[in-house]
Chains A and B, each alone.
Chain A
Amino acid sequence: MINIDNLAVEFGGVRPIHNLTVDLTDTIVGVVGPNGAGKTTLLNVFSGFVIPVSGSVKAFGQDLLAMPAHRRAQWGLRRTFQTEQVVEDLSVWDNVVVMLDTVRLSGRERREQVQAALNLAGLAGSEARFGQDLNAYERRRVEIARAIVGQPRIVLMDEPGAGLSQAESEELQAIIKAIPDHYNAMVVLIDHDVSLIAATCTSTAVLDFGSLITHGPTGEVLRDERVKAAYLGKGEVL
């Protein structure tokens, strides 16, 4: 559960997030909105890459903003990036095991946890391949494996479906849906692909110009006229 209260972010004169208050309670939550709505900025606030000017963010009762950025990952806040961040000169295994470097584990536990994450992400057998030898979809799956390995509490996914084919997107849906069952973790998913959001998220929050338009069950939210207007505009076609 993530409780966001009166959150505001400001870059110079621009306010990408403006007095945002919302409680994200479901296990897979979507955050949608047109370009510039403040979605990635919100994830960056969660991750500690952007420091808000006011407001609070609590995750399962823990004050996220009080934690240094690197401690949030150790606490269980994980994420994938819009531009994937797979390290080219590390093997798939090393790209994932790096998440457990700050955790006290036996060698066996470490191997089992990494293998479990790789299996769920569909990368079994690719452990020794290097980041530079992977295609775009494989790199995205490495990022997902990195985000779920160990004991994640919240997995933030920033447009994981971008650039994927229909078949790959369907495979991705299955991976995302499996995360709460396998890891008892909450997933916050940002994507422009409404079909991915509709297929995976039980509830969805819609942002526009940094403010919340609506939040509720995904089906209802996607039918909301205000959401359609935010995406498509309200002006009449002449």
Chain B
Amino acid sequence: MTSRSLNSDSTTQGESMTRWPVTVASLRSMAGVAIPLILVAIILPGLLSAFWLRALTSSAIFALAAAGVALLYGRLGLVSLAQVALLGVGAWVALRLSHGTDLPFELVLLGGGIVTGLVGLIVGLPALRMRGLYLALITLMAAGGFQVIVGGTGFPDGGSGFLGRVTSASARLLMERPFVAQSDEAYFRYVLVVVAAGFLLVEIHRRTRPGRAWALIRKSEACALSAGVNVTLYQTWAFTLAGFLAGIAGGLLAGSVGQLDGRNFPASSSILLFALTVVGGVYSWLGPAITGLLYRAFPSLLIAWNIDGNLAFIVFGAALLHALITAPAGIAGQLGDVGRWLSSRIGRRGGTR
């Protein structure tokens, strides 16, 4: 018989996160996020064409899904390649609930989020035993499994039965949007509010007990256990939360488009979303926001310039190389560095006057 020992490998850390105590400065930084977001929500929709409104709505939705990827990778060092598939699960549940019940849109979203959170938990169970490449492969296989299933069955579109499919294309129904957000402009604002709430949920986790537990788990399992952290509980909680965010994003996407095509959720999309989350940055809310823009707005920009949207993949590849080699905190980290440099320059000038 052989004694079993615990792996206590440690990983490198990201930028500064949790602060003590909650200060005026931290409240100011939150206001610094909220105020521009409110201004964007009020002003931007009136300035945009329908094409760009749809692109930015979609960007915001995928930013929420990317927040789940960033949470797992940035907080725990866990790679999940199933986030777009989980978004599809959320969309499927939301469509099914919307067509099959009279629930208000918010409860439909919540239902999709909860079910997807549970699916995320199941996908994440191997993480209790695995790390790195093997965990990534397992989550990718889960994404592949979803691709096969939803590719065959499609998304609910108003029919009866469990799958909720109609037989004739002309009878397909669109998902009802919330009564306060029927137009594209209003729905864009609605999405921004939900995405901001999702980011806030992650931020609250990051600054409180789960955030501390995740930080210790990432440092090393031995470090976490010696601090009384239930590693199993907090790892599964992270996967559940990431799944919940993807599920909410899926419901929002279904509400945005109205109908979804099962062929639009390939496993490769989950890989792309993960890569772009690394490019955007995984250590703050700004990273996933940039990821959403890269994932959906950047290809739209190329299309608007009459350039083949597939060129985006080449740019993404170069950006990923750049992030891996020179910017481990992603574009968000670099923007943060520029902001700190500018504020120090301005402060120095102010001081010499």
List residues of A whose CB falls within 8 A of some B CB: 9-12, 44, 47-53, 69-71, 73-74, 78-79, 81, 83, 85, 87-94, 97-99, 101-102, 127-128, 130-132, 146
CA distance A79 to B227 in the complex (A): 9
Q: Cβ of A51: which chain B residues have Cβ within 8 Å of it?
A: 3-4
The answer to whether B3 and A9 touch across the interface, beta carbons within 8 angstroms, is yes
The answer to whether A11 and B15 touch across the interface, beta carbons within 8 angstroms, is no
Q: A47-B226, A50-B4 are in contact. Are A85 and B15 (CB under 8 A)?
A: no
Q: Cβ of A53: which chain B residues have Cβ within 8 Å of it?
A: 1-3
CA distance A48 to B212 in the complex (A): 21
Which of the candidate stretches B6-14, B29-37, B173-181 sits at the interface with the other chain?
B6-14
CA distance A69 to B221 in the complex (A): 11
Distance in Å: Cβ of B147 to nearest Cβ of chain A = 36
Closest to A16 in B: B3
Q: Cβ of B219: which chain A residues have Cβ within 8 Å of it?
A: 85, 87
From A49, A70, A83, A130, B5 is in contact (CB under 8 Å) with: A49
Distance in Å: Cβ of A230 to nearest Cβ of chain B = 23
Q: Cβ of A146: which chain B residues have Cβ within 8 Å of it?
A: 227
Binding site secondary structure of chain A:
mixed
CA distance A10 to B1 in the complex (A): 7
The answer to whether A74 and B225 touch across the interface, beta carbons within 8 angstroms, is no
Distance in Å: Cβ of B240 to nearest Cβ of chain A = 19
Distance in Å: Cβ of B328 to nearest Cβ of chain A = 13
Residue B152 interfacial (CB < 8 Å):
no
Q: Cβ of A83: which chain B residues have Cβ within 8 Å of it?
A: 10
CA distance A49 to B223 in the complex (A): 10
From B1, B4, B218, B222, A47 is in contact (CB under 8 Å) with: B222
- Interface 0/1 of B124-157, CB less than 8 Å to A: 0000000000000000000000000000000000
The answer to whether A74 and B228 touch across the interface, beta carbons within 8 angstroms, is yes
List residues of B whose CB falls within 8 A of some A CB: 1-6, 8, 10, 13-21, 209, 212-213, 215-216, 218-220, 222-231
CA distance A12 to B17 in the complex (A): 41
Closest to B210 in A: A101
The answer to whether A85 and B19 touch across the interface, beta carbons within 8 angstroms, is no
Closest to B228 in A: A73
Closest to A94 in B: B18
Closest to A13 in B: B2
Distance in Å: Cβ of A20 to nearest Cβ of chain B = 13
Distance in Å: Cβ of B282 to nearest Cβ of chain A = 12
Contacts A10-B2, A69-B6, A98-B216 known; list 11 others, CB within 8 Å: A11-B2, A12-B2, A49-B8, A49-B225, A69-B225, A70-B231, A90-B18, A94-B18, A128-B19, A128-B20, A146-B227
Distance in Å: Cβ of B321 to nearest Cβ of chain A = 25
The answer to whether B231 and A50 touch across the interface, beta carbons within 8 angstroms, is no
- Nearest 6 CB-CB pairs, A to B? A73-B228, A93-B20, A85-B223, A88-B13, A49-B6, A69-B225
The answer to whether A132 and B16 touch across the interface, beta carbons within 8 angstroms, is yes
Q: Cβ of B216: which chain A residues have Cβ within 8 Å of it?
A: 87, 98
Distance in Å: Cβ of B26 to nearest Cβ of chain A = 11
Q: A10-B3, A85-B220, A91-B20 are in contact. Are A47 and B225 (CB under 8 A)?
A: yes
CA distance A88 to B209 in the complex (A): 17
The answer to whether B17 and A89 touch across the interface, beta carbons within 8 angstroms, is yes
The answer to whether B16 and A130 touch across the interface, beta carbons within 8 angstroms, is yes
The answer to whether B226 and A78 touch across the interface, beta carbons within 8 angstroms, is yes
The answer to whether A90 and B227 touch across the interface, beta carbons within 8 angstroms, is no
CA distance A70 to B239 in the complex (A): 20
From A50, A74, A81, A101, B213 is in contact (CB under 8 Å) with: A101
The answer to whether A73 and B13 touch across the interface, beta carbons within 8 angstroms, is no
The answer to whether B17 and A73 touch across the interface, beta carbons within 8 angstroms, is no
From B209, B215, B223, A81 is in contact (CB under 8 Å) with: B223
The answer to whether B8 and A94 touch across the interface, beta carbons within 8 angstroms, is no
Distance in Å: Cβ of A108 to nearest Cβ of chain B = 13
From A47, A87, A101, B13 is in contact (CB under 8 Å) with: A87
CA distance A88 to B13 in the complex (A): 6
Question: What are 10 A-B interface contacts by the 8 Å CB criterion?
Answer: A50-B3, A50-B4, A52-B3, A69-B225, A73-B228, A78-B226, A79-B226, A94-B18, A94-B215, A128-B20
The answer to whether B212 and A98 touch across the interface, beta carbons within 8 angstroms, is yes
Q: A49-B225, A85-B222, A89-B17 are in contact. Are A70 and B230 (CB under 8 A)?
A: yes
Closest to A102 in B: B228
Q: Cβ of B230: which chain A residues have Cβ within 8 Å of it?
A: 70, 102
Closest to B74 in A: A89
From A44, A73, A88, A130, B227 is in contact (CB under 8 Å) with: A73
Closest to A93 in B: B20
CA distance A12 to B4 in the complex (A): 10
Closest to A73 in B: B228
Q: Cβ of A71: which chain B residues have Cβ within 8 Å of it?
A: 228
CA distance A9 to B225 in the complex (A): 20
Q: A81-B222, A85-B222 are in contact. Are A99 and B1 (CB under 8 A)?
A: no
CA distance A5 to B15 in the complex (A): 46
Q: Cβ of B218: which chain A residues have Cβ within 8 Å of it?
A: 87
Q: A73-B228, A85-B219 are in contact. Are A91 and B3 (CB under 8 A)?
A: no
CA distance A89 to B10 in the complex (A): 13
Q: Cβ of B229: which chain A residues have Cβ within 8 Å of it?
A: 70, 98, 101-102
Distance in Å: Cβ of B70 to nearest Cβ of chain A = 14
